[in-house]
Structure 1
Amino acid sequence: MSNPTLSIVIPCYNEESNIAQIIHRFDQLASQLPSFELLFVDDGSKDKTVEQIQNYKNSSHAYNIRLLRLSRNFGHQLALLAGMRNSIGEICITIDADMQDPPEVIPAMIKAWKEGHDVVLGQRNDRAKDTWFKRTSAVIFYRIMTVLARGDFPANVGDFRLVSKKVLDVLRSLPEQSPYWRGIVVWVGFKRTFVEYSRAERFSGETKYPFIKMVTFALDALFSFSKKPLLFVTYSGFALCVVGAIFLLTYISLKVTGYAFVPGWTSIISLVMFIGGFQILCLGVIGQYIGRIYEQVLGRPQVLHYPAEDVHQARR
């Protein structure tokens, strides 16, 4: 059987309750799509996600179902990379397993690709179903990225996207250890457009991005696309030096003119703690960049997986 036109990459981590819904949605959609494959990337699931996918081995579908198992949990972004590297379609679409991003939008994405766009980004037209905290943090995050990062980062765009073969080849070749695909896809350029949609609530299961992972994800985005935190550290350190020099000159002037000073233990300790804390903060920012350099220098594979397994080959 010849390679499909479209590869749909679906990273999965403990998504056993969503697999049946995914298959059902794509069964309903199959007649509207060109030849395609579903490539499930199991990111070290501890539940029955793999077994659920394998249950469809003997089912009859108008498309291929393939399974790629990672050797452990590498994280969502590296699971996407593994899926893109192992996809065989002419174009590739990435979509999450929670079905918040509707597969029914895919025909519109393919239409935009046929019109000459190499990148088609799914863009949410509202965040009404998100919590207040998630909406607020998203607004703050996109504003920070707009100010600090290099490039035009569109708001309300996640990992639901279509990329053409030439863009896919570029993404596959990147050696980054902590890829932030939402930024990288914008950074590579090429002709792009958007398809708006309403995001649904998670079909089943729990979010795989709790608060700590969200913060880590945001830091990966910032440190991958901006050197401005280092400039902030430099300018702030210079400003503190100037303030310290002014304070010292003022003290000497007052001492020479005869003004008496009562030693101020509290003020001295407060100043020392402030400067010490700021130095530690600066070292932390610098350490983030050094840590990423260290990961790159090690040259380890970004992700490891079992040999690719075809779960089901469709018969047409």
Structure 2
Amino acid sequence: MLEHRHRVVIVTPVYEDAPACATLLRHLGALFGKSLLVVAVDDGSPRAPLRLGDIPADAPDTCILRLRRNVGHQQAIATGLHFIAPQLQPHQRLILMDCDGEDAPASCSMLLAKLESHGDTAIAVAQRAKRSESLKFRAFYVAYKLLFRMSTGRAIDFGNFMVMTPRAAQTLAKSPWLGTHVAAAALASELPLLRVPVDRSTRYHGQSKMNFPKLVRHGMKAILVFSKDCRARAKGAFLLAAALCATLAGGVRVFDFTLPGIMPVIAGVAAVATVLAASMLWMAWLLEHRHKQLPDTSTAAYTGNTQAVLYTP
């Protein structure tokens, strides 16, 4: 259980990845020793759930939070955060990270140092400076960031890897968006964020379970968090495009103003812009409709899915 000697607490989700988690724990044990508590959230792994026997002898103190059913990466992190946030003391720091090795343990110390050196910062996030994924993934990620910027007016260039103060953890735990998209929830919280350039490392074992359709859904969930901003921007873009079309049509009709060869192009661009803006408006409406159907995200709802809490001796 969490004790005063634990200066750092790490929450990491685990799904059918006990070997990678064991490797991570060995690296963390070498870095932090017994000043660290790791909360490993086993996300309902059906075939090979994380067990106490999987924890290496040189690992830091570890708590296995075993869930009854699989809820997905983001909700697993949210469950761990809801579990540990109320227990945090002012001198402790919380880290969220993946267990597959792509969030390098050595980067934890850098994020912690940056958080402490910027007194007004509540959360230090790992801004990806260099990625190790395929070209297809990186191309999608660039397109996703551009779409997010156009839809919400904000920039999202970080993931789940972050360090925060106890107060920030407790504030984030109250966010209704936490189980939808952790990074977007942190961005929407308006807590002071510090972006720290961090290179993405390589996986310890196996291949990523995240396929392209899952990546698309994950990206759309980030936009869902800002559905109201998305609707406002889409509405403005639609009205602007419609006004441009009306102005062009009115100018031609009233002043008989035509430029052969150019007007059809301008009119075509305006029409396409109107259709795109209308599509964005429709998407924003769907996102807001989806927002009304979000599941219960109270602490009781998260902890109610916990099957067992196991501590290393």
Question: TM-score with structure 1 length normalisation?
Answer: 0.75
Residue 32 of structure 2 is aligned to residue 30 of structure 1: yes
Call closer, same or farther: CA 1:241–1:186 in 2, change over 3 Å. closer
| Partner SS for 2:306 | coil
Partners of 2:130 and 2:244 lie apart in 1 by: 47
Residue 144 of structure 2 is aligned to residue 141 of structure 1: yes
Call closer, same or farther: CA 1:130–1:242 in 2, change over 3 Å. closer
Instruction: Out of 180-189 and 293-302, give the one that drifted further.
Output: 293-302
Question: What residue is the counterpart of 2:49 in the other structure?
Answer: 49
C-alpha contact (below 8 Å) 1:7/1:39 kept by paired residues: yes
Q: Which residues in structure 2 correspond to 1:76-87 (within 5 Å)?
A: 76-87=73-84
Q: Which residues in structure 2 correspond to 1:107-146 (within 5 Å)?
A: 107-115=109-117, 116=119, 117-127=121-131, 129-146=132-149
Call closer, same or farther: CA 1:284–1:310 in 2, change over 3 Å. same
Question: What residue is the counterpart of 1:181 in the other structure?
Answer: 182
Q: Which residues in structure 2 correspond to 1:1-316 (within 5 Å)?
A: 2-3=3-4, 4-31=6-33, 35-50=35-50, 53-56=51-54, 60-61=57-58, 63-87=60-84, 88-89=87-88, 90-115=92-117, 116=119, 117-127=121-131, 129-151=132-154, 153-155=155-157, 157-176=158-177, 178-227=179-228, 229-231=230-232, 232=234, 236=238, 285-295=284-294, 301=301, 304-313=304-313
Deviation at 1:49, TM superposition (A): 3.2
Q: Which has the higher contact order (CA 8 A, sep 6+)?
A: 1
Segments of structure 1 that go 5 or more residues without pairing to the other structure are 251-277
C-alpha contact (below 8 Å) 2:104/2:201 kept by paired residues: yes
Question: What residue is the counterpart of 2:263 in the other structure?
Answer: none
Partners of 2:66 and 2:214 lie apart in 1 by: 22
Call closer, same or farther: CA 1:187–1:112 in 2, change over 3 Å. same
Deviation at 1:139, TM superposition (A): 1.2
Partners of 1:225 and 1:234 lie apart in 2 by: 16
| Partner SS for 1:207 | coil
Deviation at 1:211, TM superposition (A): 0.9
Cα shift readout 1:230-268 (whole Å, capped 9, x = no counterpart): 353686489679979x99xx9xxxxxxxxxxxxxxxxxx
Amino acid at match of 2:104: P
Partners of 2:237 and 2:21 lie apart in 1 by: 51
Deviation at 1:281, TM superposition (A): 8.6
Aligned length: 280
Amino acid at match of 1:125: A
Partners of 2:32 and 2:216 lie apart in 1 by: 37
Partners of 2:310 and 2:289 lie apart in 1 by: 40
| Partner SS for 2:46 | coil
Call closer, same or farther: CA 1:222–1:191 in 2, change over 3 Å. closer
Partners of 2:129 and 2:193 lie apart in 1 by: 18
| Partner SS for 2:200 | coil
Deviation at 1:77, TM superposition (A): 0.9
Amino acid at match of 1:146: R
Partners of 1:27 and 1:178 lie apart in 2 by: 28
C-alpha contact (below 8 Å) 1:177/1:302 kept by paired residues: no
Question: What residue is the counterpart of 2:267 in the other structure?
Answer: none
Partners of 1:147 and 1:160 lie apart in 2 by: 24
Deviation at 1:134, TM superposition (A): 1.1
C-alpha contact (below 8 Å) 1:112/1:120 kept by paired residues: yes
Deviation at 1:30, TM superposition (A): 2.5
Amino acid at match of 1:55: G
C-alpha contact (below 8 Å) 2:27/2:105 kept by paired residues: yes
Larger Rg belongs to: 1
Deviation at 1:106, TM superposition (A): 1.3
| Partner SS for 2:130 | coil
C-alpha contact (below 8 Å) 2:44/2:68 kept by paired residues: yes
Call closer, same or farther: CA 1:283–1:289 in 2, change over 3 Å. same
Deviation at 1:178, TM superposition (A): 5.0
Partners of 1:96 and 1:176 lie apart in 2 by: 19
Question: What residue is the counterpart of 2:260 in the other structure?
Answer: none
Question: TM-score with structure 2 length normalisation?
Answer: 0.75
Partners of 1:218 and 1:95 lie apart in 2 by: 18
Partners of 1:29 and 1:207 lie apart in 2 by: 25
| Partner SS for 1:309 | strand
